[in-house]
Structure 1
């Protein structure tokens, strides 16, 4: 179980340590210098890992720490590339030996060189040593900077949580709430039936992303006159991150008795007294903003509730469907986005103290464009309205329209901590997977398998110690965990696909920083040399100018097009295939899906690190034989390649190939080859 606020880099470091372990990989025969350098790496990296959590917290307010983390991340990827070079060399050597031995099936590859001395192995190690020593020097420089930045080791005088939010209360200004009439009625209808079916207290979860209005809806219901008349007792508790049973029980008891009980910390005494007060009473309890709860803690907390009248109800608000699944007795009430008209009302209320633009007609058109950025999130409309309060100059409104919400000063913006807190609470392995998805375009509908295969290609799916779960199943667990936490939402148009809310997408880009890059809207952007994951929006004609920027990012691991054009073919300049791709030697995932390409260059075989190739819906007639030397390849997608006539004979020697999709590639002749995996 990970700690709250644990650094995303800590998961990446765990992967590096696993690769550095001599028992699992990197046995290089007589090359002692390599072992010596790797030992230095491990020692220095463990020194740095001890302060990662403190650095991740401080980066939000300390620019120098943020720069330090960026340099560390960049260095980590460079080190990983070198380790992958060694592993790939070993894998190629093993595959060659097996082929020479004419084996029909290949044993599971262990990333080792043979202990026999090999001149080629020696030359390879010698070539890599200069790269390794350069990494060591950079690591030592970062350790020196660590001391200067006064970063603390984990659990040494370091506060666990630095992101604070004011606690919620049951009070609400209904005049400032708009667009939740139907939701309010739906919840009240769930509260007012006379008796529960089996006599237990009903638990009604309200679930949705941060800023969607869960607490506001609970407040509206809590203060409704029909609710006041229906329940004998009402209590409101802001639970937040810490599910403290004693604190929650105290708060409920104080609401019921109107008496302070601060001096009592015995849970038994508190629960016995609360049970007496609730006995045969019809009560309504709101547990607001629950982040996590175990089934055991929930059963302990609810013990006194069982004596209440059968009509008693509990409302729970949470961002996490895993929380609601533990507590609910009825299905989740998933709170949906507001319409643009409703968001516009909220914007005018908070910016102009008015219900419409009748007094400021010159701002109406700009306001209508601003609320589109809110994408149905009431907190975003309220936040922007607060930033524009008393500012009736059209230029000020245009400035907000043309800039990201995230550029607002943090102390003035409620949306930043509201959504950043969701990211802050993710375990490290999910943080990596989440910000990887920042390369997905806004409004893009994606499938679970599509994303899981990309995560797998870049090594983001790592088994916990002692577990042997299939890697795809692990990826599915990661994906569904992000769904349950409201980072991914089921598409309203296709229930088998998912989308990210625009502001969640923005959050992913903020969390990823320079490491992820997305080119869109024909903007000529500058890509960072540190970028590792990239995507671009393909159009009908993709000329060289569009790809000029990618020449600066020679360490890219992911290079994906997203075709939003649904009719006709998309054409790709040959310079990308012949000149650009051979320079991207660190690629793990490459897609050319949907391009009007009839032939692939033989240089594809030089992409030694590649795990994922997608040539679906292209016009290719054959695959180059060099593809059979890509020993790391896990996924090969050829769906809809209706001109492809055959697969290379030696494809069966790709021992790591797990997914081969040739659906609708109807021109392939002959029987499919038996693949070793």
Structure 2
């Protein structure tokens, strides 16, 4: 039987099941319902299977029977997840006194039994028959394949455990290039040639300078490196040249051996690093060399260090070119120049035209227009957001979905995974926006293809289907999305929420953004103990005068134990309710706070007393004049804002004063001001403007902030380690920019009229014009 083309991944699901089995709720249930031995046995067999999963998931590509085992295992894992979730619910019900001894019960019919009722005496047999027996059969079968394969290939066995070797089947590149198939690269070649043939940027520093070519797979990084490597001017300039392709095997021993073989045509046949380094240094002997290292994946600096040291004997003007998909790899190698490789529409069309012509002859004029449209869709490979159909998403929302599936244990881990995918161009920023992302259509189509029937997507543009294996589904209604974006028609018609929501003990994120017809919240909603996010906008109980807003928001008081993010929008009360003004410090796990379009409020809660607050957004607060971090208490403390990292203040036209402790925040690294025209000076008794913000790296002075720019110019008080500065408009640049040794980027609005001389800036500062959302 022919299997499906996708790899079947179960290693994400088994740890989730083991976590649930170790939960206190299930342990208690096992004790009360006499199912301890069954739950323990289930945990044991899952633990054994977990040890074999790495082998099975790698072996499925070469053994269709292993893939069948994995498919069966996935079905049982899904069934186990359903069973354990229902058990956990029953366990919570048993312990929860709020149900009043069975008088009031939020009851979900059991999906495990045909009659909808789950009885205690049925739990043991259910776990044994539905899960343990099937898992034991699968475990035996996978182990049999493992023993068979490992005995036939002893090299791939490590310590009697799991096969860890992954054969690198990626094709290796070489230095030869077919120039007839390379189009649209003239400017890229010239840009890199200029860096190759230029003198060292620092004559006193003896090192081989690195040039990085960065871009998504298939965009032409290797081809560009081949063109440069074989350019006549480059050949004449360098005394020695070498080309090596590393892919996933970035090993100092094998890499230096490959360089030596490329330089002199002989394999050194040495296996120890030290003699290899000595031979390479002897081979270089002060000669000006060019080394291409193609397809670098490693992000470990220690892998790069031995080669860097060995190359120090190369002559002045020597260069290394690395090609990589990862910007993090490029950064690790500290390049003198990074070339981000993209394709223009015309270049993409020329490449398509050449391939079509080679295969099918001349192109009919009527088809050229269609071809050019396809070229625009494929633009840059990391696609411009305007050509992406749908799929605009926020980082935090995707992390929440990962967490709901049990793929990650903490939001911090989710953020690390997301950033990794962003670095590799799996995701891209949407139109330059900092907090919105898109996925390239080609990447999405690939993900959809390999996900098989487990993930079903229903799209009005094409026929869709589901199968018995479909477990997740999504619906794409782009017409509705387009109508909303074009005509401001995502608001929901929800008028009330289920009364039983107060019993959802694991509910972590409650997003009611845009539910303006929602009249009230269920009684007792404040007793939820797990919420991390509560987002409300246009709440229907609120009126334009704000008479009821305080009362409504007071009734929405969330439980303080787990709240991580809070956003309040279009609130018209004159002041915030007690739980914000008095009790806010008790929300000591709050990380993100946003107050937007609170036009009548003249004061703020004691925000500075939140110990873990990292992100603060204040937007559209028309009557806010003074901000004292502890305004309710009439005092300020130097210990306030201990964790604040990102601060955005926008559209606060009356704001004149900031709290003094804010300008001493030890971790503040990003600060944005926009359209706050009255905020033209800062508390100087804080130590002088912004000079005490020693962690601040990014500063944005947006529209209508000319007064603050002038203040900073007059006082010469800028953050000492500033890396990036954006200025919307000013007549002259602030003094002291030349003293900022860490400043690398100065971005001016395209309409900025500031004039400056090169003497005002350090030589390494990049000055360009653009908009703040593009940074």
Q: TM-score, normalised by structure 2?
A: 0.61
CA spacing shift, 1:608–1:266, aligned 2, 3 Å: closer
C-alpha distance 129-637 of structure 1, shift in aligned 2 (>3 A): farther
Deviation at 1:566, TM superposition (A): 0.3
1:442–1:46 CA distance, 2 compared to 1 (3 A): farther
Q: Secondary structure at the match of 1:317?
A: strand
The residue aligned with 1:13 is 14
Residue correspondence of structure 1 range 505-544 to structure 2 within 5 A: 505-523=444-462, 525-538=464-477
Q: What is the 5 A alignment of 1:332-371?
A: 332-336=338-342, 338-353=343-358, 358=362, 360-361=364-365, 363-364=367-368, 367-368=371-372, 370-371=374-375
The answer to whether the 8 Å contact 1:630/1:654 transfers is no
Give 1:148 shift. 7.7
Greater CA deviation, 362-371 or 312-321? 362-371
- Residue 534 of structure 2 is aligned to residue 636 of structure 1: yes
Asked if residue 278 in structure 1 is aligned to residue 284 in structure 2, the reply is yes
Q: Deviations over 1:189-247 (max 9, x none)?
A: 22222123133211122222211211111111111222112211111110111112122
- Within a 5 Å distance, the mapping from 1:182-581 to structure 2 comes to 182-197=187-202, 198-261=205-268, 263-330=269-336, 332-336=338-342, 338-353=343-358, 358=362, 360-361=364-365, 363-364=367-368, 367-368=371-372, 370-371=374-375, 374-377=378-381, 442=389, 444-462=391-409, 471-523=410-462, 525-538=464-477, 565-568=484-487
Say yes or no: does 1:173 pair with 2:185: no
Structure 1's 196 and 568: CA in aligned 2 closer, same or farther, altered over 3 A? closer
* Structure with greater helix percent: 1
Query: C-alpha separation between the residues in 2 aligned to 1:267 and 1:232?
Result: 25
Is the 1:452–1:475 Cα contact (8 Å) retained in structure 2? yes
**Superposed CA offset, 1:577-625 (max 9, x none):** xxxxxxxxxxxxxxxx542333334465686764433221122222233
1:136 aligns with 2:33: no
Which protein has the larger Cα radius of gyration, Structure 1 or Structure 2? 2
Distance 1:635 1:63, change over 3 A: farther
Which whole-Å CA distance do the structure 1 matches of 2:80 and 2:528 have between them?
A: 21
Conserved? CA contact 1:602–1:624, under 8 Å: yes
* Alignment match of 1:613 (pick from 506, 510, 530): 510
> 2:496 — aligned with what?
599
- Structure 1: tracts of 5 or more residues without a match: 1-5, 101-121, 381-440, 463-470, 542-561, 571-592
Q: Is the 8 A contact 1:488 1:499 kept in 2?
A: yes
Distance across 2 between alignment mates of 1:629 and 1:130: 36
**SS of residue in 1 equivalent to 2:250:** coil
SS in 2 for 1:194: coil
State the alpha-carbon separation in 1 of the partners of residues 89 and 520 from structure 2.
25
**Structure 1 residues 247, 55: closer, same or farther in 2, change over 3 A?**
same
Cα displacement (A) at 1:651: 5.5
How has the CA–CA distance of structure 1 residues 264 and 665 changed in structure 2, closer, same or farther, with 3 Å as cutoff? Answer: same
**Equivalents in 2 of 1:243, 1:498: separation in Å?**
31
Which residue in the other structure is 1:624 paired with? 522
Could you say if the C-alpha distance between residues 614 and 71 of structure 1 is closer, same or farther in structure 2, counting changes exceeding 3 Å? farther
Alpha-carbon distance change, 225 to 142 in structure 1, aligned in 2, over 3 angstroms: same
Could you give the per-residue CA deviations for residues 361-384 of structure 1, whole angstroms, max 9, x where no partner exists?
A: 465455445545645449x9xxxx
8 Å CA contact 1:196, 1:310 repeated in 2: no
Instruction: Give the count of matched residue pairs.
Output: 538
Q: Distance in 1 between matches of 2:390 and 2:337?
A: 27
Does the aligned pair in 1 maintain the 2:216–2:381 contact within 8 Å?
no
Match of 1:80 in 2: 81
- Say whether the 8 Å CA contact 1:235–1:252 is kept in structure 2: yes
Q: Distance in 2 between matches of 1:540 and 1:666?
A: 33
Q: How big is each residue's C-alpha offset from its partner over 1:505-528, in whole Å with a ceiling of 9 and x where there is no partner?
A: 223223433333332235452334
Query: In structure 2, do the counterparts of structure 1 residues 523 and 361 end up closer, same or farther at CA, with 3 Å as the change threshold?
Result: closer
CA contact (8 A) 2:527 2:558 kept: no
Of residues 569, 573, 583, the one that matches 1:663 is 569
Show CA shifts across 1:302-344 (max 9, x none): 22211222311111111223322221233533222x2343233
SS of 1:566's partner is: helix
8 Å CA contact 2:429–2:438 kept in 1: the answer is yes
- C-alpha distance in structure 2 between counterparts of 1:563 and 1:87, whole Å: 41
- Which ranges in structure 2 are unaligned for 5 or more consecutive residues? 1-6, 102-116, 151-156, 543-548, 590-775
Residues in 2 aligned to 1:631 and 1:70: alpha-carbon distance in whole angstroms? 37
Rounded to whole Å, the distance in 2 between the matches of 1:656 and 1:204 is 47
1: distance between equivalents of 2:439 and 2:207? 37
- Write the distance in 2 (CA, Å) between the matches of 1:24 and 1:58: 37
What is aligned with 1:427? none
Q: Secondary structure at the match of 2:249?
A: coil
The structure-2 alpha-carbon separation of the partners of 1:627 and 1:19, relative to structure 1 and needing over 3 Å to count, comes to: same
Q: After alignment, is 164-173 or 628-637 more displaced?
A: 628-637
Q: Which residue of 2 aligns with 1:415?
A: none
- Please give the per-residue CA displacement for 1:10-34, whole angstroms capped at 9, x wherever unaligned: 2432232233237896233733642
User: What displacement does 1:649 show?
Assistant: 4.4
Counterpart contact for 2:458–2:464, Cα < 8 Å: yes
Distance in 1 between residues matched to 2:529 and 2:515, nearest whole Å: 23
Give the corresponding residue for 2:165. 160
Whole-angstrom distance in 1 between the partners of 2:235 and 2:498 = 73
**Cα distance in structure 2, aligned partners of 1:520 and 1:43:** 42
Residues 28 and 91 of structure 2 are in contact (CA less than 8 Å); yes or no, is this contact kept in structure 1?
A: no
Native 8 Å contact 1:348 1:357 kept in 2: no
